[in-house]
Every structure is written in structure tokens, then in C-alpha cells.
Chains A and B, each alone.
Chain A
Amino acid sequence: EANAVIIPQCSHIPPGRRGCLMETTVSPNKEELVIRPLHSGDIYTSFQFRTLWETDFTRENKVSHYRLFPKSLGQVISKFSVRELHISFTQGYWRTMQWGQPYLPSPPGAELWVWFQDSLTDVDGTWKELTNVLSGIFCASLNFIDSTNTVQPSASFKPLGIGNVTDHQIVCTENLTPWKKLLPCGSKAGLAVLLKSEKLFHSSFHSQAVHIRPVCKDDQCKTTSWELRQTLNVVFDLHNSGQGKNEWSLFKMFSRTLTEACPVASSSKIYIDITDNSQGEQFELSPATPLLSQAVVLGDRRTFSVYDLTQQITFGTICNVLKLPVTYSAHAGDMLRPLLHAERYVAGYGLQTGEIHTLMYNNHPYRSFPVLLLDSVPWYLRLYIHTLTVTSKGKDNKPSYIHYQPSKDRVRPHLLEMLVQLPPNSVTEVTLQFERALLKWTEYTPDPNHGFYVGSSVISSLVPSIVAMDTNNSRERPLFSSFFPSKEESSYFVRVYTEPLLVNLPTPDFSMPYNVICLTCTVVAVGYGSLYNLLTRSFQIEEPSPGLAKRIANIIRKMRGVPPL
């Protein structure tokens, strides 16, 4: 559908002028940091960097002028006819019950979802090349993504796309380094200065992501522009990292301070969530700022203190840095329970069979809402779909839509999608039995006793919201509240990821080929050797040599001329 012709901005430049005029109504580059103190004593920080770009990749003349949009990603979009791309790398698991809902959910490990243009014919080949190219850009082992762990869901992740749900990955500085290099200011100025890897990875949760998609330029939405969002979500556990006391500051969290905003950013802001601190009873911000803003995010109206880095007045007068020390004075109260959260675990014993249990909690007191559960299980866990049961409050809960695509050994994984209505204030349990397969000995990883990972389940839902959501999507809003566009006011879209599973497969003894070769060779050598000797050797009688006394007697007898003994 997205085939509108967009006029590039450089169309009417008189000769003698160089460069393109970027005349846009929307600011091309925005950066934002949201800090939210959580009830468990942790601090949730979320960086978002957004770049907008007006260009049309479907035209024949190749795009060659890149200013703020990184060239590596621009070339990926045009070469592989990508319409939308989401890639995230996460270390750690988001604990919904303790931390609430994240602004942007992500599963542990790496996740890649891509939507291609309609004009693309060879999706499989392009998918393989795209994963290889992205693995080079982000220094990640994405080249293990192939048809055996890729799914094309029919209902989740609208519009239809192709994706790899999760893959176990270790995320470290080598993934952060190329991510930082994609930012317009790199890590030299603006909020990206705070991204020091030693502090970022010493945290309970670390997630970095890149989202590329077309967005509406204005209200009528007749033209679209490309949006690149780079997000980084970190949850710091200040007790764990040796702080102890209930105080935090930018320097304590990131071991850096801010001195200036990124020069090419049109907006650079820090939001601190003070909704739970309306009378200042829990913590105190310094320097205090008069700027306050309210935003409806995740179905709730939250109040934020805003620090605008593009204003010189934000930085302290003494040393021109923004430190933001905060001291907690009282204990945090109870957190509002999140309306939807999920858990998943493997039950059973032994290495033959097992059972996957997925629990979905609806904590709303009187409203029920539908959830879409997407499960992608690798082929070596053979699911028995006839054992699938969905129960809520002890009774059977029949899903209104089920789509199941069985796996094919070594070709594709299981895909199960279900639309389930969750009754209010209840726990819904989905159970499924499976059997473990024995892999070929070359298919095992070098450390097979660690286990094999099963990606997280994805639960998408429209959750009723406490306050009316803003459906006017073209207005200028803070980045963290505008990722999922809302279509209706009474509910908002939420995506929850469960834990990944670690399943032990029956592992053979890898020293057996060596043992077998040794044993067989020994048996053959001994057996064949003996047989050969028996068949081909002939025996001759040999006189034993006589003793010394006899030999001397024989010599004397020979001298006498008498026959020997």
C-alpha cells in the first residue's frame, strides 16, 4: 500500500547552490531521556533518539545524500525493500510485577521483525541476506537466523511481517559501539555522552533497539517520512552497584555529566517522573525546575519535571554541568499493579517429555479484554497440540481464534497463535505437552549441556486504560508516549514478553566416536592378526641348543673322532 510518490526536498535548487534545504514541519532530530524511579528502589532510564527523514527509496535515482540518517541503515532499507524494521538486543528480563510496564517492551536476547514492500518477490533469500548484513552492522550473531527459527505470524504483529522472535544472545559493548555510531552526534555531545558501557551493563536490565518505520508527516497523512528511533532502556539497581544509600544522580548512574546538548538536535530534554512525588514527600530534585509537563503514557496520566538541554539556563551556574542529585526521604508506597502480565515455565521430569505452562494474569477488577498469544517453539521440541488446554478460573476457556502451523524437522519451527479472552481478575493457564528430539551429533552446540533456548512468547493486547488516550497522532508529543499510535480512547496497546525457556535435550557422549574407533581397531587388529597368523604360518621343529657341559663334551668327542651326544 505504501507507494505514494514523495517529492524530495531538493527539487528546485537554482544552479550554483549546493546542499539541500530540509524544510520540514516536524523536527528532524529529537533526543530524550526519561527517568522513572521505581517502587522497588531501582531507577528506570530510557533514552530515545529520533531522526526523521524525507526521502523516497522507491525512486530510480539512488539516494546519495545522507545527513543525519545513517548511511548504513539507509542502504539496508533501499537494497532490501524494507518497509519497517525493528531490531532489539536485550540483556536481562523485565520484571513486570516489580517494575510496571516498560515504555518499549523487548524480550531477552535478540529480536528482529521486518516488513517488506509488496514489490518484493523472493522473501526468503532477502531475509537471509538482510540478517547477515545486520549481523555485520551490529556485531551480533544474527546469521544464525534462518528458516528453522523464523516465523510469519498471521495475526500478531500487524501488518503481516516476518520475524525471528528471540534468539539467545549475549549483549555487550561490541553491540553498543556500532549502535552509538549510528547516532547523529555519536557519543560526543548531547545525551549520548552518558552512555558509558561499564555502567550501562552493570544493571538489572539493558535493552537497546533500532526501529525504522514510515510515519505520517501531518494530520491528513497524505505523505509519509521515514522515522529512525534508537532506544536504550536500562534499569539500575543502585543497591547492587554499591550505592547503598537512597540517593542517585546522573553522575552516580552514568559516571558522566552533561555539559551541552547535541548541536544538530532540535529538541533535547530530560523528563523525570514525579507523579508519585507530587508534594515532594519522597524525593527532592535539584536543581528544581519550574517546567512541568503531563503526558498520558501506558494508560495513565503522569507528571514530569522537564529539563531542556537546549536552554543554557538548565546547566548549573557554577560548573556548567547538569548533575541532578536526588535524595529519597521516605519509603515508596505501593505500586499500581500492572493490568496484564505473564509467566512461563517448563514442567515435567526426565529428558523425554515435558510440559510448557504459560500463565496470563488479568488484574483488572471488572473488565475483561482479549489477548493474542504468539508462541514459536523450535522443531526439536515436538509439541502435541491435542494436549493443548486453556483454562481460566478452573473452567475451560475456548480461544476465539487459533492458528497453528506444525513444524517440519530442520526446516521451520512450530507457530501457535491464539486469541483468548481473559476474564476479569483471573489467571489463565495454557498448557501444552511436548517431547524432546535427539539431534544429529553435528547439530549440537559446543556446550550442549547448557541447554537449548526457547524464545519468549509474545502476548499482545488492548488493555483498558485508566485515563482517556490521545488519539490525535500528529501532535507533537514526547517520544516515549508516541510509539504505539492509539486508535481509540478507552484502551491502549500493550505487548508483554514471557521468560525464555532453557530446555535440556538428551545429550550424547561426544567421546563415543573416538572410543568406538579405538575399540573397533583393537578388535580387528587382534582378531585379524590371530587369524592371519594361524592360516599363513607353518611350524618347523627346532632342536634346542644343548647346555654348556654338553657342548664342551661334544667338542672333546669331535676331537677324539667319536659321534656327539
Chain B
Amino acid sequence: CVGINLRYRFHVSLLCKLVSCFGDRAGQFFSSGHTNNWAVLVCTSRFWFNYRHVANTLSVYRSVKRLGIPDSHIVLMLADDMACNHRNPKPATVFSHKNMELNVYGDDVEVDYRGYEVTVENFLRILTGRLPPSTPRSKRLLSDDRSNILIYLTGHGGNGFLKFQDSEEISNVELADAFEQMWQKRRYNELLFIIDTCQGASMYERFYSPNLMALASSQVGEDSLSHQPDLAIGVHLMDRYTFYLLEFLEDIHPASKTNMNDLFKVCPKSQCVSTPGHRTDLFLRDPGSVLITDFFGSVRKVELTMETINLTDPIDAESGELQKEMHTYADQLPVSEIIHQKPKQKDWHPPDGFILGLWTLILLVFFQTYGVKHLKHIF
């Protein structure tokens, strides 16, 4: 079956003849090889003074949603709630620019993992797909071998680790192994990994699986700095790298042709103070041919079919026996019933543990002292 990229059809059919341009566009489409997009956006810091990490994650969420990835394909993990935090002077808002210009929280946001649920274990389980069976769909990464996944991490980190919620860390080795598991289980087609923490480049040093591209906001030994504080809210609103990344992404629209080489130029040392780094040696395609929208935008698989489908007749339900019994509303506080309620008979459990041990000891001592053959005199 042929999947046709829906967004291309608008532009193609209007501008050029179908035959000649179609071959060109289809070739371009098939060269990327993916049919769906996923995004895993994680903020790992807790507490009010880490407002900027939540703002970072929400601004990437906002861009990704704007470029077409639906909520069902985004796994958003926020370790703390800033929008409805009691210290927030403007509830239900998270701002990214000072003077409160842009509210990245918005009115339509779905956070899949919040608060204490953002742990290293949950993060690795999402990536590898090993979640308990009762996990709802919105909390799962249901990617397949034709998915392009964007993974964005932000928080506090160091050389070789990223801190989760001030109580645990994930190391670069663990992350590399998780990606290798994903590769072996064919859970991604291509993966873009962006990290905005101090010494972020150390996190992608250990990657060894194919088709991974990584970007970091600072090299080993450097700190990623925050952008600007807002005096009304009282904290720093964004980190520099993500601030300029957001500015870059605001110019991208679903049909734009900008490629990864432009993304590598985001936030040079003059703006960021730290040196952003990137790693493309594991990536099979040339970064110049990879579109931004390959990871930040969304591809919907559309199948066109011309055959008609006959709908079946509605189910003719047989009218069964009408057991019409009287229903009544239950009494909310039946005082007399409660007072005269008999206590539930507790099930008898065989004695366990201490009591059993004690009785065994008593019996042993008894039999040892008196011997078995004397028992018949006693009993």
C-alpha cells in the first residue's frame, strides 16, 4: 500500500503538474523512510527555582504540536507543576519570554507523566516499551520500525549523568544501552536526541546504535546558562539554548525545507556562552538532506481507496424477557441499619510466623523431655 504524504498534496497539486513533480516529491518522501513521528519530552527538575526547565520542555512541546504531532504521539513528562504552583503569580501559565509575551502552557495541554512519576525507571520503560499491562495508551511510546522519534531532555546534569528530581541519576551508559535495546527491537527508524543541561555533550558520547543524531547545549566541562529572569515571576524563565531553539522553530512551518545543518548553527557561542555540540557519525543519511520537519513535524499515513464499503445492517436486538424489577435509590445514611450491622465474620487463617514457631518449639521440648513412649501414660 502506498502512503501519500498529505501535506505535500496541497502544494503539489496547486503548483505543478502531477506527473513530473509527483515523482520528485515521492522520491524525496521515500528517501526519509519514516511513516509516523513520536516525541518524548522530559523535564527532570523539581522545585520552583527550576521553572526554566519546565518552560524549556513546554516550548518544545508547543512547537512540536504546532508542526503537527498530535497529543497521542507525544509523551510529555514534567517533574513538577509550575503553572498551578502556589508561587506562580499568574496561575495556569508558563512564560518563556520576559514581559510575559508567550504562554507556552496554553489551554490545551496533556501531561502524561507528572510529579513523582518522572523517574529513571519510568523513562527507560517508556523507551524500551516494557511497561506494566495496565498502562494507558497515552503513557506509552508505541513506535515501530518506521517511526522517527524526537527525544528532548532538560534538567541538571554533569559529566556523564543527568539528575532526575534531585534523588537519582541516569548515566550516559544506561541511555546508550536503552537506545540499543530500542534498535534491536526495531522501535525507531531514526532518532534525534536533544539535551539541554550542563555538560550535555557527555550524554551522547557513549551512543553506539545506528541512526542516532544528537545535539547538546554545551560541551564537557562547560555549563549551560539560563537566559533571562523575569522580575514579576522571580525566576529565570528559559535556558539560552532552548530559547534560541524556540526562536528558530517559530520560523518553521509544516512545509518548510530547512535542514539539520541549520539546526546545528542555532545558538553559537556568542549567544549561548557555552559551545553547543552535535554528533552525526551514527546517522546514515547526510544531515544536509534531513528536514527539520522529519523530526519536529508529523507525517500521517494516508491510504486512498476508491472501492466502496458496504455497511452491515444494524444489529436487530431480540427483545428478551422483560424482567422489570423495582429499583430504588439507596438510602445514603441508614442509621438503624448501620447500628444493627453484624460484624463481618473474619476468615480463619492458619497461624503463621511467630505463633507457629513458638508452638513448634513448645512441642519439640515437650517430646524431647518426656519421650514418645511415655506419652501413653500421660494421655
Contacts of A510 in B (CB 8 A): 167
- Which of A31-39, A220-228, A275-283, A385-393 lies at the binding interface? A220-228
The distance in angstroms between the C-alpha atoms of A7 and B317, with both chains bound, is 8
User: Could you tell me which residues of chain B, from 67 to 95, have a CB within 8 Å of some CB in chain A?
Assistant: 81, 83-85, 90-93
B313 touches A173 (CB 8 A): no
Q: Which of A11, A170, A202, A446 contacts B319 (CB 8 A)?
A: A11
A372 touches B338 (CB 8 A): yes
Contacts of A13 in B (CB 8 A): 314, 316
Does A4 touch B at the CB level, under 8 Å? Answer: yes
A139 touches B114 (CB 8 A): yes
Q: Which of B92, B117, B329 contacts A200 (CB 8 A)?
A: B92
B134 touches A159 (CB 8 A): no
B46 touches A446 (CB 8 A): yes
B329 touches A473 (CB 8 A): yes
CB distance from B327 to the nearest CB of A (A): 5
B329 touches A487 (CB 8 A): yes
By beta carbon, the residue of chain A nearest B318 is: A11
B84 touches A171 (CB 8 A): yes
The distance in angstroms between the C-alpha atoms of A299 and B93, with both chains bound, is 40
By beta carbon, the residue of chain A nearest B85 is: A170
Q: Which of A61, A135, A171 contacts B136 (CB 8 A)?
A: A135
B114 touches A177 (CB 8 A): no
Contacts of B326 in A (CB 8 A): 220-222
Q: Which of A139, A155, A222, A461 contacts B111 (CB 8 A)?
A: A139
Does A235 touch B at the CB level, under 8 Å? Answer: no
User: Could you tell me which residues of chain B, from 109 to 129, have a CB within 8 Å of some CB in chain A?
Assistant: 109-112, 114-117
Contacts of A177 in B (CB 8 A): 107-110
Contacts of B339 in A (CB 8 A): 400-401, 419
Contacts of B331 in A (CB 8 A): 158, 487
Name, among B136, B138, B330, B333, the residue most crowded by chain A CB atoms within 10 Å (CB to CB): B333
- Which of A125-133, A314-322, A326-334, A429-437 lies at the binding interface? A125-133
Contacts of B93 in A (CB 8 A): 198
By beta carbon, the residue of chain A nearest B105 is: A173
Contacts of A400 in B (CB 8 A): 339
Does A301 touch B at the CB level, under 8 Å? Answer: no
Q: Which of A2, A173, A446 contacts B107 (CB 8 A)?
A: A173
Question: Known: A143-B117, A370-B333, A510-B167. Is A3-B83 also a contact (CB below 8 A)?
Answer: no
B335 touches A462 (CB 8 A): yes
A5 touches B321 (CB 8 A): yes
A460 touches B116 (CB 8 A): no
Main secondary structure of the interface of B (DSSP, over half): loop
Does B372 touch A at the CB level, under 8 Å? Answer: no
Contacts of A158 in B (CB 8 A): 330-334
B136 touches A5 (CB 8 A): no
B111 touches A493 (CB 8 A): no
Q: Which of A172, A445, A446, A493 contacts B333 (CB 8 A)?
A: A493
Does A485 touch B at the CB level, under 8 Å? Answer: yes
B107 touches A196 (CB 8 A): yes
A223 touches B324 (CB 8 A): yes
Does A447 touch B at the CB level, under 8 Å? Answer: yes
The distance in angstroms between the C-alpha atoms of A136 and B116, with both chains bound, is 15
A485 touches B325 (CB 8 A): no
Q: Which of A3, A197, A487 contacts B92 (CB 8 A)?
A: A197
User: Could you tell me which residues of chain B, from 229 to 244, have a CB within 8 Å of some CB in chain A?
Assistant: none
By beta carbon, the residue of chain A nearest B118 is: A446
CB distance from B119 to the nearest CB of A (A): 9
A446 touches B84 (CB 8 A): no
Does A174 touch B at the CB level, under 8 Å? Answer: yes
Does B308 touch A at the CB level, under 8 Å? Answer: no
By beta carbon, the residue of chain A nearest B315 is: A61
B315 touches A128 (CB 8 A): no
Contacts of B116 in A (CB 8 A): 141, 144, 445-446
The distance in angstroms between the C-alpha atoms of A493 and B333, with both chains bound, is 8
The distance in angstroms between the C-alpha atoms of A445 and B119, with both chains bound, is 11
Does A10 touch B at the CB level, under 8 Å? Answer: yes
Q: Give per-residue flags for A486-501: 1 if the beta carbon is below 8 A from chain B beta carbons, else 0.
A: 0100000100000000
Does A216 touch B at the CB level, under 8 Å? Answer: yes
B81 touches A216 (CB 8 A): no
Contacts of B322 in A (CB 8 A): 5, 7
Contacts of B327 in A (CB 8 A): 1-2, 4, 214, 216, 221-222, 224
CB distance from B363 to the nearest CB of A (A): 28
Q: Give per-residue flags for A1-45: 1 if the beta carbon is below 8 A from chain B beta carbons, else 0.
A: 111110110110101001010000000000000000000000000
A202 touches B92 (CB 8 A): yes
By beta carbon, the residue of chain A nearest B84 is: A172
Does A347 touch B at the CB level, under 8 Å? Answer: no
B341 touches A201 (CB 8 A): no
The distance in angstroms between the C-alpha atoms of A155 and B166, with both chains bound, is 43
CB distance from B118 to the nearest CB of A (A): 9
Does A305 touch B at the CB level, under 8 Å? Answer: no
Does A154 touch B at the CB level, under 8 Å? Answer: yes
Does B59 touch A at the CB level, under 8 Å? Answer: no
Question: Known: A173-B92, A201-B92. Is A216-B317 also a contact (CB below 8 A)?
Answer: no
A401 touches B338 (CB 8 A): yes
A172 touches B329 (CB 8 A): no
User: Could you tell me which residues of chain A, from 129 to 178, have a CB within 8 Å of some CB in chain B?
Assistant: 129, 132-133, 135-137, 139-141, 143-144, 154-155, 158-159, 170-174, 177-178
Does B165 touch A at the CB level, under 8 Å? Answer: yes
By beta carbon, the residue of chain A nearest B311 is: A18
By beta carbon, the residue of chain B nearest A3 is: B323
Name, among B108, B132, B320, the residue most crowded by chain A CB atoms within 10 Å (CB to CB): B108
| Chain B interface residues (CB < 8 Å from chain A) | 46-47, 81, 83-85, 90-93, 105-112, 114-117, 132, 134-139, 165-167, 311, 313-317, 319-335, 338-339, 341, 343-344
The 8 closest A-B pairs by CB, nearest first: A136-B136, A172-B84, A201-B92, A132-B134, A446-B165, A201-B91, A174-B111, A446-B167
7 contacts between A and B (CB under 8 A): A13-B314, A18-B311, A139-B138, A155-B338, A173-B83, A461-B333, A462-B335
* 17 other A-B residue contacts (CB within 8 Å) besides A136-B136, A140-B114: A1-B327, A5-B322, A13-B316, A61-B315, A133-B136, A136-B138, A139-B138, A154-B341, A173-B106, A174-B111, A216-B327, A222-B326, A419-B339, A446-B166, A447-B46, A462-B333, A484-B332
